[in-house]
Amino acid sequence: MKRIGVLCSGGDAPGMNANVRAVVRAALERGITPYGIDRGYAGFLAGALRPLTSRDVSGIVNLGGTFLRTARCREFHEPAGRTQAAAVLRQHQIDGLVVCGGDGSFTGAQLLHREHGVAVVGTPGTIDNDLAGTDHTIGFDTAVQTAVEACDRIRDTAHSHDRVFVVEVMGRHAGFIALEVAVAAGAEVALLPEHPAHDTAWCCQQIALMQQRGKTSMLVVVAEGVGRGEQVAAAIDAQVPGTSARATVLGHVLRGGSPSSDDRVLASLTGADAVAALCEGATCHHCGVIAGRLVRTPLEEVVGVKKPLNPATVALLGTLAT
């Protein structure tokens, strides 16, 4: 292994910079030249790649976003796009590729391996935490912390005005962020894609129940995959007499900001291990951390595999919201 490529793909996540930094420095330590590829898979089509030095990744461990930029690349869904990517890698004599991204990015990486024999290793770069093969993904901890800080502020105004506040957080297909935020912020209700029976009508019943128990202000956390916070707030207003509900959408604010120490450490561990994995002959793997230990999993056991929410945390929410 003489040269490896590294790219960030899909939605950005705080900690991606720390991940690329670790890939670059772990590669240099082994005498491998790391190549940074700009804007995810789109970088191949634009021929936008360059060798990175240790100084290129100086001073970025604490920065959100990704200095390599990230992108969604439609062409990579087509075999021709992947053929071009493989040709660019061959042209630059790059033997292996580290992809920091989520399930979609790993699907593309897996195809690049199957069709062109490129050695690929994925690192878990998504705020959603919806990847099997790791307890947490890079950016999840920071996103939860950002949302909890916002919820704490919202609770202040909810309390002052005796209001119900509905906070919509990111999570189209997974409720990891919503669940963690709900527990940490002391929310009364969480609406999660994994629990469709807990819908808006159920939420209104819960709000009415807690109102009867003497609660005057309440917090509802909604994962965006369940529905719009505005609609949930309107339903509460309409269906629960005596309430005044408002909605706040946290949206992309959760993607930004300086990564937490947990995210920086996870990103650094998995980035360095991705290089080690390539050197040790990994061909199509994912590097994650499970129960505090680095774990390499074949990508086919990660891509498309649904990671369940922790049932104990879901149950705890019900216990605490009384």
Residues forming the site for ligand ADP (CB under 6 A) = 9-11, 41, 72-73, 76-77, 101-105, 107-108, 111, 126
| Whole-angstrom distance, CA of residue 288 vs CA of residue 123 | 7
β-strands 3-8, 33-37: how paired?
parallel
Q: Minimum distance between the CB of residue 194 and ligand ADP, rounded to whole angstroms? A: 18
Does the active-site annotation cover 128?
yes
> Whose CA is closest to 129, among 291, 319, 312, 306?
306
Between 10 and 34, CB nearer to ligand ADP: 10
Residue 33's alpha-carbon distances to 36, 88, 101, 194, in angstroms, are: 10, 16, 21, 43
Q: Minimum distance between the CB of residue 75 and ligand ADP, rounded to whole angstroms? A: 7
Between 36 and 40, CB nearer to ligand ADP: 40
Is 279 buried (19+), middle (13-18) or exposed (0-12) by CB count in 10 A? middle
**Residue owning tokens 């990111």:** 170
Between 9 and 206, CB nearer to ligand ADP: 9
| Whole-angstrom distance, CA of residue 301 vs CA of residue 291 | 18
Token pair listed for 286: 């994912």
| Whole-angstrom distance, CA of residue 15 vs CA of residue 310 | 24
Between 186 and 298, CB nearer to ligand ADP: 298
Residue 102's alpha-carbon distances to 32, 109, 304, in angstroms, are: 25, 11, 10
Between 64 and 102, CB nearer to ligand ADP: 102
Q: Minimum distance between the CB of residue 273 and ligand ADP, rounded to whole angstroms? A: 19
Q: Are 8 and 125 in contact (CB under 8 A)?
A: yes
**Among the options 38, 128, 141, 263, which is catalytic?**
128
Residue 204 is which amino acid?
C
Q: Minimum distance between the CB of residue 303 and ligand ADP, rounded to whole angstroms? A: 9
- In the complex, residue closest to ligand ADP by CB: 104
Residue 280 is which amino acid?
E
Q: Minimum distance between the CB of residue 45 and ligand ADP, rounded to whole angstroms? A: 10
Is 249 buried (19+), middle (13-18) or exposed (0-12) by CB count in 10 A? middle
How many of the other CB atoms lie within 10 Å of CB of 54?
Answer: 12
Q: Minimum distance between the CB of residue 76 and ligand ADP, rounded to whole angstroms? A: 3
Helix pair angle (140-161, 261-279), 10° resolution: 160
Quote the DSSP letter at residue 305: P
Between 142 and 248, CB nearer to ligand ADP: 142
- Residues with catalytic roles: 128
